[in-house]
Structure 1
Amino acid sequence: MKYRVLAGMVMAVISGQAAAQTWVLTDAEAGTDKGNWQIDSKQLNASGQPFSIQQKVLHGGKQEGSKVLTITSEQGLTIALSPTRGMDLLQVNGHGVRLGWDSPVDEVVNPAYINLESRNGLGWLDGFNEMMVRCGYEWTGHPVTKDGRIYTLHGKAGNTPASKVEVTVDDKAPHEIRIRGLLKEHTFKKSNLETWTELRYIPGADAFTLHDVLTNKGDYPQDYQIIYHSNFGTPILEKDARFIAPLKSVSPFNDYAQKGLDNWNVYGAPQKDFDEMVFNLVPKADANGKTLAAVINSKGDKGASIEFDTHQLPMLTMWKNTDTLKQGYVTGIEPGTSYAYPVTIEKEQGRVKQLQPGQSTTFELTYTLLKDANAVSKAEQRVQQIQGEDKVSVEQKPIAKE
């Protein structure tokens, strides 16, 4: 009798822990791939907000073989990511607002068609059109050649197909959806980094979270860098749109950006021959190290915000690229461990971090679509609350020169 009771308790614990269903879409180790696949809340008999999850394999042009995995929530967000391109986010849509931008690159380019070393290390641009791309992890920033080695623009993670992709849906309401992907940066004698990326979304919500765990699988210490290059265009970006964040300081990335310091946080209309302006920011955080940054349209009734932990991501870059619509009218909010200078400069200035053998580190960011004036107001209040009475120090000179 005691054995039966104990066995029942054990089974209850196990069932409680396993209150979710998981589908493995890709597994390089097992040599399996589901290809086109879909599931929805009706098939799962899931109550509450309806949703669907679908993977498509693309064909034609440079997107041949690329995959797009899309979560669709009728009352919330539609989130599209690509397991082929580093599990990066392509676009997010909800309530008539788009998080993302229009790049001249109009295909989900398979990394097999990209040479990162072309154009003196700028080949990464041949596939750049994501709403969020992971720039790292072995290195990031502008390209540079050091001791005969080319460190290409923004590293390799964004052009690394996931070796394993899993989709998990909680059995119980609110049926959180988790999409996990394993990125491997393995190079003989150079790098043995692995990152488990994870997107977490509750159907019907206006926000989602990225939870990434980076591990040094090697026997030697390993440098790492990461910038979460998050990009927004129309309808949020427009003339007189604003960037907001609680800050300690702002400085121009280079001499060209120095010319735009007077109105660095206000955007202009699309302008031909506008070269990109980049600003290095030191974020101010609350007592727990949390902060947020946002871009808001001119009327203050739509926008996007990113909340992140400054213990994990102590730097913030603002990329202002208000070129023509066809050329790429876009701004970037970019939390990171580093700025976008070449890895050589970042290392000299002490911003390159390191993992010991077997050590892991976590990065967590929450993205929110600000669908109306009330949501925008709450973000503004949060920024002001963290900023308090402290003034932002505006530095006139770049902290480094390439």
Structure 2
Amino acid sequence: MGELYGRSIEGARRRVGSATALAAVEASVRTDGPDAGTRRLRLIAGDLDVELLPDRGLDLGQVRHRGVPLAWVSPTGWPRPGASGFGAAFGGGLVTTCGLLSFGPPSVDVEGEHPQHGRYSGLSASVVRAEAGHDAVVVEAVVVEATVLGAHLELRRSVRLPLGEGRIELRDEIVNRGSREVEPMVLYHVNLGWPLVDAGTVLRSPAESVRARDVAAEAGLSSWAEFPEPSARYPEQVFAHELPTDRRVSAEVVAASGFGIRISFDTARLPGMFQWRVAQEGGVVLGVEPATAPTILGRGDARARGLLRPLAPGASWELGLDIDVIEIHP
């Protein structure tokens, strides 16, 4: 177990009047603006201050460590699900979940129409637990993606913040509640922004090789690992990272100061990883995106390449990742 402000967890608890000084879950509802009526959960766990978005599938919004923002948040914010198209509603945040049946560009198949990056971030969660416990802050929720007489997937999500460790543990169980086999696709869109991301910030990848998605990315392929100086216009670049199989791996995003983020996951469950980079003034963002299939070209490409994995009725997948705040000294 970690420490809080130079004391053991137990020692810190003996020195405060209310335990909410160290750990808390605070619920609120937005009362105005484009996201009026949407729910927020604020998790406080020592140095970590985490915003959860129940009306976005319990995704993670802004996250601060000792007051420093870690996530990139787009100017759209998080309007109510379905209020506008993808480009006007992608709020970013530390984790945007893409799926549960598709990620990548829009597509159509036997499961119906799939919007860009799927429907998940437009689904509301039912929160079943929100607790600031003795050693961790934990929120659990259930999200359902279903159609009439079609696919019926249930995702059970847990977000856990161990006290004193600067870590976010995100765990998902996806259960096929339907009567027929389905093929889920899930991508965790981890969005990091300034001041963590700036000129000289380095991405340390577990990849065995890295390739560009398109011509715009080809122009930056030789320098994919180091974030460039922001400019007035910078085309979006996406790189595919070829990962070792069946291993626990970590990707690290480290600023010049040595402050950084480590994203850890299992390639047996998330064999793909993509990097999204925009070095544009007013939009500095670096995305690290572990995924259940190593394609960024959508469901059709995944099917053509045999990358979709079937999930039988009643069966489940366990997915997730850990996000740690790190400090690397020379």
Q: Is TM more than 0.5 here?
A: yes
State the Cα deviation string for residues 66-100 of structure 1 (Å, max 9, x = none): 11101113x32011111011100001111343220
Q: For 1:351, which of 291, 307, 316 is the aligned residue?
A: 307
Measured at CA, do residues 364 and 181 of structure 1 come closer, stay the same or move farther in structure 2, by a change above 3 Å?
Answer: same
Segments ≥4 residues shifted beyond 6 Å: 44-49
SS at 1:346's partner residue?
helix
C-alpha separation in 2, matches of 1:359 and 1:124: 34
Preserved contact between residue 135 and residue 226 of structure 1 (Cα < 8 Å): yes
Residue 91 of structure 2 is matched in structure 1 by 128
Q: Which has the larger radius of gyration?
A: 1
C-alpha separation in 2, matches of 1:102 and 1:162: 21
C-alpha deviation, 1:297, in angstroms: 1.0
Are 1:295 and 2:253 counterparts? yes
Are 1:109 and 2:72 counterparts? no
Preserved contact between residue 83 and residue 165 of structure 1 (Cα < 8 Å): no
Are 1:342 and 2:302 counterparts? no
Measured at CA, do residues 181 and 191 of structure 1 come closer, stay the same or move farther in structure 2, by a change above 3 Å?
Answer: same
Matched residue count: 316
Preserved contact between residue 94 and residue 192 of structure 2 (Cα < 8 Å): yes
Residue 69 of structure 1 is matched in structure 2 by 41
SS at 2:302's partner residue?
helix
Preserved contact between residue 134 and residue 229 of structure 1 (Cα < 8 Å): yes
Are 1:53 and 2:16 counterparts? no
Measured at CA, do residues 157 and 54 of structure 1 come closer, stay the same or move farther in structure 2, by a change above 3 Å?
Answer: same
Residue 5 of structure 1 is matched in structure 2 by none
Q: For 1:332, which of 287, 312, 317 is the aligned residue?
A: 287
Write the letter of the residue equivalent to 1:51. A
SS at 1:84's partner residue?
helix
C-alpha separation in 2, matches of 1:47 and 1:153: 43
SS at 1:344's partner residue?
helix
Preserved contact between residue 243 and residue 267 of structure 2 (Cα < 8 Å): yes
C-alpha separation in 2, matches of 1:263 and 1:243: 10
C-alpha separation in 2, matches of 1:361 and 1:147: 21
State the Cα deviation string for residues 345-398 of structure 1 (Å, max 9, x = none): 12111222220111001012110112x334xx7xxxxxxxxxxxxxxxxxxxxx
Percent identity, aligned pairs only, is 24
Measured at CA, do residues 48 and 161 of structure 1 come closer, stay the same or move farther in structure 2, by a change above 3 Å?
Answer: closer
Residue 138 of structure 1 is matched in structure 2 by 101
Write the letter of the residue equivalent to 1:109. P
C-alpha separation in 2, matches of 1:53 and 1:147: 41
SS at 2:185's partner residue?
strand
Are 1:182 and 2:142 counterparts? yes
C-alpha separation in 2, matches of 1:277 and 1:213: 31
Q: For 2:116, which of 153, 157, 160 is the aligned residue?
A: 153
C-alpha deviation, 1:147, in angstroms: 8.1
C-alpha separation in 2, matches of 1:212 and 1:48: 27
C-alpha separation in 2, matches of 1:133 and 1:205: 23
C-alpha deviation, 1:128, in angstroms: 2.3
TM-score (norm 2): 0.89
C-alpha separation in 2, matches of 1:364 and 1:337: 11
C-alpha separation in 2, matches of 1:275 and 1:352: 30
Preserved contact between residue 124 and residue 153 of structure 1 (Cα < 8 Å): no
Residue 3 of structure 2 is matched in structure 1 by none
State the Cα deviation string for residues 143-201 of structure 1 (Å, max 9, x = none): 2345895321101111100134421344xx42x22201111001013310000011011
